[in-house]
Amino acid sequence: MTQTLTNQSRSSALKALKCKECGAEYELQATHVCEFCFGPLEASYDFSRLSQPITRESIEAGPNSIWRYRSFLPVETDTPIDVGTGMTPLLKSHRLARQLGLKNLYIKNDAVNMPTLSFKDRVVSVALTRAQELGFSTVSCASTGNLANSTAAIATRAGLDCCVFIPADLEAGKVMGTLIYGPTVMAVQGNYDQVNRLCSEVANTHGWGFVNINLRPYYSEGSKTLGYEVAEQLGWELPDHIVAPLASGSLFTKIYKGFREFVDNGLVDDKAVRFSGAQAEGCSPIAQAYKEDRDFINPVKPNTIAKSIAIGNPADGVYAIDIAKKTNGTIESVTDAEIVEGMKLLAETEGIFTETAGGTTIAVLKKLVEAGKIDPEEKTVVYITGNGLKTQEAVQGCIGQPFEIEPKLGSFERALERSRTLDRLDWQPVLV
């Protein structure tokens, strides 16, 4: 460890890596665990070293991507890897809001993020930019699917070699959505937590940049952009309440950090924002600890259709609980059946096809409204973090089938008549 910092660039505020537990500072290298207390390292900044102050105008004049917030991100280069990630729509909800009885509901839609349709494109854009700065030629990750898609795609764009590790039982869309970019894919016979442990060993034996292991302090900062964008898209204002999915808990904690940095830099007025988290009942170690008022996590063995958020031993779980508690939010879990209903509800009301993680978040939103834990007047933002085309298996058998008809008007009319009398789930792909 050393207190000597390498970054003196005046266009970057990045200062050091700092232990979240004991505060020890480290050089800006590929490292993620404190040597003294084994706490996680996090990027820290000194915004006073910037040659220009960060203003709303300077941000608005930046690129239409996460890189408009470059001064808040842990990179030193002026030419980061920009694949158009970020600035996804923040939609004012009308039909879902009405159905739930909410007056001020917004949907942050990262199901259409670029290039691979999940919020992971944010963290990977940052991690691979930093990987290049640190001289890595091969990048890797432990993934539940979305991260592998993103790492493989952006590595290709950046000309980096790529090898990703996933559990062997992932959805076909996630596997194809990685293989298409041509990386080496290791499908591990085990769950995500076992994949992650293997990757920690590989990170120690190979000189690779693992985005969510040795590059984690940089990678995780990319999620702050989900806080910045919402604040900017709300007209430079913070919401009253956010609802977001939890796997490791990193995304949740970084949205919080993003809001705080905007307040600290005078970009938005301070406001108490409530933070509520969503888990699948079949993998809910954070929700369980929250409900039992524990400040430690008991790891679980995941068993849920929400595979992208199936992390049994979440690294940032305790920090997520702390934020939910201190902001007067909550953490809730829902069953697989409720997750599917959540996916359908969002699709049928707002025209957004989200994956199981989004289904979890919508189902938790509904549960919180029904329990009176969301005030109808509150400006509430629900984060949709991934795309339903990747998890089609989850809704198979729950959304009806097409009518197969002859190319004749009579056949169409008969099918139309049947569609009016049958429940959609009874539709059959047969000639009528």
Ligand X SMILES: N[C@@H](CCOP(=O)(O)O)C(=O)O
Ligand Y SMILES: Cc1ncc(COP(=O)(O)O)c(C=O)c1O
Which of 248, 332, 343 lies closest to 305 in space, CA to CA? 343
Region for 400 from its dihedrals, namely left if φ exceeds 0, alpha if ψ lies in -120 to 50, beta otherwise: left
Q: Give the containing element (helix H, strand E) for 421.
A: helix 409-421
Residue number with CB closer to ligand X (338 or 355): 355
- Give me 209's structure tokens: 């940049």
Pairing of strands 41-45, 14-19: antiparallel
Count of CB atoms situated within 10 Å of the CB of 301: 11
Q: How far is the CB of 35 from ligand Y (least distance, A)?
A: 25
The three-class DSSP label of residue 111 is helix
Which of ligand Y, ligand X, none lies near 212, with the C-beta cut-off 5 to 8 A by kind? ligand X
Element (H, E) at 334: strand 331-334
Q: Which of residues 134-173 bind ligand X (CB under 6 A)?
A: 143-148
How crowded is residue 25: how many other Cβ atoms within 10 Å of its Cβ?
17
Q: How far is the CB of 177 from ligand X (least distance, A)?
A: 11
Q: Among 36-44, 239-247, 261-269, 290-298, which window interacts with ligand Y (CB under 6 A)?
A: 239-247
**Taking contact as CB under 6 A, which single stretch among the options 96-104, 161-169, 247-255, 364-372 is the one that binds ligand Y?**
247-255
294-313 positions binding ligand Y, by CB under 6 A: 308-309
Strand pairing class (138-142; 209-210): parallel
One character per residue 173-212, x = contact with ligand Y (rule: CB under 6 A): ----------------------------------------
x/- binding map, residues 283-322, to ligand X, per CB under 6 A?
-------------------------x--x-----------
Q: For ligand X, what does the binding mask look like between residues 208 and 227, x meaning CB under 6 A?
A: ----x---------------
Q: Is 385 annotated as a binding residue?
A: yes
Instruction: Determine which residue in the list 385, 388, 391, 395 makes contact with ligand Y, applying CB under 6 A.
Output: 385
Name the binder of 245 from ligand X, ligand Y, none, CB < 5-8 A by kind. Answer: ligand Y
Q: How many CB atoms are closer than 10 A to CB 402?
A: 9
Nearest alpha-carbon partner for 210 in 130, 320, 302: 130
Which of the choices ligand X, ligand Y, none does residue 246 contact, using the CB cut-off of 5 to 8 A by kind?
A: ligand Y
Q: Which residues have C-beta within 8 Å of that of residue 61, sequence separation ≥ 6?
A: none
280 counts as binding ligand Y under rule CB under 6 A: no
Instruction: Please report, for residues 370, 384, 415, the alpha-carbon distance to residue 289 in angstroms, rounded to integers and kept in the order given.
Output: 22, 24, 51
User: What are the binding residues?
Assistant: 146, 385
User: What are the binding residues for pyridoxal 5'-phosphate?
Assistant: 146, 385
